[in-house]
Structure 1
Amino acid sequence: MTETRRSGAETRERILAVAREHFARQGYDRTTIRAIASEAQIDPSMVMRYFGSKEELFTAAASIDLALPDLTTVAAGEAGRVMTAHFVRTWDSEGTLMALLRRAASDPQAAEQMRGIFATQVAAAITPLCPDPAQARRRAALAATQLLGIALGRYVLHLPPIVEMDAEEIVEWVGPTIQRYLTAESA
């Protein structure tokens, strides 16, 4: 195997980029260290040197910044639609997030990683909108159930009615529910 000369940081980033592609395309179980190494043009032992195990590589590859929009700049009553649209675009373009969702259904460590992403990033994004900021985590969890449910139905289970909907239609149906979770007074 011909190895390309790169710095340690460049090698690590190249491994992560290739791993993200493989995990997104093939899922965790069908992705191999050997295939990642081959595409990254390195010896498989280098992948292990940088990441220790396939599990640790997956965890690093699935460290995702959702890049949520600043919902405080959105017109009143539109945050739910904006957040829903953002997630549909993210699910469509971020295959690693989908790989994490699939794995989280059966692996406790991946489930914890998914919980962490939603608990920290989504809760932080919605806290300024909440009538009671102490409820931000609860409201983020409720929003996550809807957004993850759409992703599961559309991209994992391939439920025909959800798959057939375009992004705008999903936003129109789900956005108002997310809005309620974000801004409605407590029940």
Structure 2
Amino acid sequence: MTDSTVARRSDRTRAAILQAARERFAADGYDRATIRAIAADAGIDPSMVMRYYGSKEGLFAAAAEIDLRLPDLTSVPRAEIGARLVGHFLDLWENATGESLVILLRAATTNEAVRAELQRILATQVAPTLAAACPRPEEVPTRMGLVVTQILGLATTRFVLDLPVVAALDRATIVARLGATVQGYLTEPL
């Protein structure tokens, strides 16, 4: 067997494990999902999961690895930043990235390690992006916290709780109404 054949098999195994982990974490939550169940879903021995990811926490971190692909706000007209951010996050939640975000959000409510991962994502991806829109650098943490209350609130009510009134809102309404709130959090005096 050639090295490239082994590498392809390894890549397929990793992909199967990650897919099974995402589905299992989404269905069962972080605490109830087990390495044994994930391995069974992937059609492999549990020792393979441990070989590739080391622990349940390592597997979760890999399964929930998220790049928010936030837009460069320096070229966005200041009055449009809130709507742009809301639209961007809505797009993320509604595409394939949304599955990982829902898993992360659900698990963060009950697991400290997952909560720390979510906080890391916010600190390393959201805060630097919002810094471009904030009038004062020292206000970035507070403004980010306020923005996140809206973004995660929308995600929780629309994609986790599936609250009918929120789930039924059309994109234009969400972007306009929530965008105005986010805009205020970013640009109004604190």
Q: TM-score band (shorter)?
A: 0.7 to 0.9
Match of 2:75 in 1: 73
Per mean C-alpha deviation after superposition, the further-off stretch among 61-70 and 26-35 is 26-35
CA contact (8 A) 2:86 2:178 kept: yes
Q: Residue 148 of structure 2 aligns with which residue?
A: 144
Q: Cα RMSD over matched residues?
A: 2.1
- Relative distance call for 1:15 and 1:183 in structure 2 (3 A) is same
The percent identity for this pair of structures is: 48
Q: Which runs of 5+ in 2 are unaligned?
A: none
Q: TM-score, normalized by length of structure 1? A: 0.86
Deviations 1:126-157 (A, max 9, x none): 11111101211221111001110111111222
1:27 and 1:100 map into 2 onto residues whose CA distance is: 9
Instruction: With the length of structure 2 as denominator, give the TM-score of the two structures.
Output: 0.84
Amino acid at match of 1:15: I
Paired with 2:6 and 2:35, the residues of 1 have a C-alpha distance of 19
Helix, strand or coil at the partner of 1:140: helix
2 CA distance for matches of 1:6 and 1:147?
42
Q: Are positions 1:111 and 2:145 aligned together?
A: no
Deviates more, 1:76-85 or 1:5-14: 5-14
Q: Which amino acid aligns with 1:153?
A: T
Equivalent-residue separation in structure 2 for 1:148 and 1:41 (angstroms): 34
| 8 A Cα contact 1:25 1:95, kept in partner | no
Q: Secondary structure at the match of 2:132?
A: helix
Asked whether 1:45 is paired with 2:27, we answer no
Check the 8 A contact 1:64/1:97 in 2, yes or no: yes
Contact 1:37 1:43 (C-alpha < 8 Å) held by counterparts:
yes
Shift of 1:39: 4.7
Paired residues of 2:25 and 2:33 also in contact (CA < 8 A) = yes
Q: Is the CA contact (8 Å cut-off) linking 1:21 and 1:96 kept in structure 2?
A: no
